[in-house]
Structure 1
Amino acid sequence: MISLLKLLVFVYTLIFMNVNIIFAQDIEAGGQIFSQNCSACHANGKNLVNPEKTLEKEVLAKFEMNDTEAIIKQVTYGKNAMPAFGERLELNDIQNVASYVLNQSELGW
């Protein structure tokens, strides 16, 4: 019974404290995939197509792209000028890229 209670408290914490779960932990692999597929438009966290929408921490937050789920969705399906990568990259690769982007945004690129 105590184990069930601990589990419920844990789940409650995740749901109601809005904890972002990072799907992928391989930031290095995400960096390699980013370099091969994303850096033409997003070198050093910039955006050559739309300079106002960089991958900097504050800008990601402004456009509600500051969590892995949002980044995974945009990379997978594309949006506006950004092409979809869902058919070119495996889900695990996209998760790694999302982790890399968030990590780099925290570090200031």
Structure 2
Amino acid sequence: MKKLLSVILLAVSFLTFALGRPALAADAASGAKVFSANCAACHMGGNNVVMANKTLKKEALEQFSMYSADAITTQVTNGKNAMPAFGGRLSADEIANVAAYVLSQADKGWAG
């Protein structure tokens, strides 16, 4: 009985990890399209045309405690100050993909 239970738990664990969410790169690729259509007007190249010091570059994201998917998701969903809320316009998956894209670009210095 213990052996059967162990085999079942092993199978469930394997299926959970093997068939889980796609890799971050796939999310970031989808996020690039959403970013281009909704965010690039103000944040082209990781910059910020409204508040020049609050860019999407890694140093600024870290300085303003925004260097996490949760923080970016909250900001995009709810907006803040001059940034409008996109929660009514974009789905939760689209916003998560944008967060993945922003973080991946910040890590690359917004190059390419």
Q: TM-score interval w.r.t. the shorter chain? A: 0.7 to 0.9
Unaligned residue ranges in structure 1 (runs of 5+)? 4-23
Match of 2:100 in 1: 99
Q: Partners in 1 of 2:28 and 2:54 — Cα distance?
A: 22
Match of 2:49 in 1: 48
TM value normalised by structure 2:
0.76
Percent identical = 55
RMSD: 1.8
Residue 80 of structure 2 aligns to a residue whose secondary structure is: coil
Decide which structure has the larger Cα Rg and report it: 2
Unaligned residue ranges in structure 2 (runs of 5+)? 1-5, 7-22
Match of 2:17 in 1: none
Q: Partners in 1 of 2:76 and 2:97 — Cα distance?
A: 11
| Corresponding residue pairs, total | 89
Match of 1:72 in 2: 73
Instruction: After the TM superposition, list the runs of 4 or more consecutive aligned residues in structure 1 that deviate by more than 6 angstroms.
Output: none
Residue 47 of structure 1 aligns to a residue whose secondary structure is: coil
TM value normalised by structure 1:
0.78
Q: Partners in 2 of 1:27 and 1:104 — Cα distance?
A: 9
